[in-house]
Amino acid sequence: MIVDGEYTFPAPRQTVWTLLQDPDVLVKAMPGAKHLTSTGDGAYEGVIRIGVGPVTAAEWSLTVLLSDRTPPESYTMQVDSKGTLGFTRGNAKVELLDEAGSTRMRYRADLQVGGKVAGVGQRLLDQVAKMMTKQGLEALSREMKTRLAEDQEAAPA
């Protein structure tokens, strides 16, 4: 399953890059995420809770690895999650582009889903993947706005 698109963040590219490396920010951007911990340079582990259609929500272990990083321009993300209902794994290429007063993110992910959760059908999985991506990017944008506002308040006048 391919999930791709673009999203514009109201922040400079370096700020977006920095926040995309912060597990405290990433956990807020992942729908269903319970926690995410850095386990090394660009490596994270955590737990998410996912349900799809008639498949009841369950906890899944999650591993994320960021590689091929070119700050603040691009990186590759490898995601692997496992639970009693199945698994997801995939790779995503993320690019950050300077825009006037903002940053445009381009992403393309190739995901595989297996186990009981895959039994709900490709069409439903595609819809859920797009919905979760949109929710995650909007949550990430809200967190960026909050952090930028906090930074402005903390800056000396």
Please write the tens of the pLDDT for every residue from 38-89: 999 999 999 988 776 666 678 889 999 999 999 999 999 999 999 888 898 9
Q: What is the pTM of this model?
A: 0.85
Structurally, the chain folds into a number of domains equal to 1
Rounded CA gap, 135 and 144, in Å? 14
pLDDT digits (tens, 9 = 90+) for 97-151: 999 989 999 999 999 988 887 777 667 778 888 888 888 899 889 988 888 888 7
Residue 149 token pair: 């506002």
Rounded CA gap, 20 and 4, in Å? 17
- Do 9 and 95 touch, CB atoms closer than 8 A? no
CATH of the domain at 45: 3.30.530.20
Domain that holds residue 55: 2-154
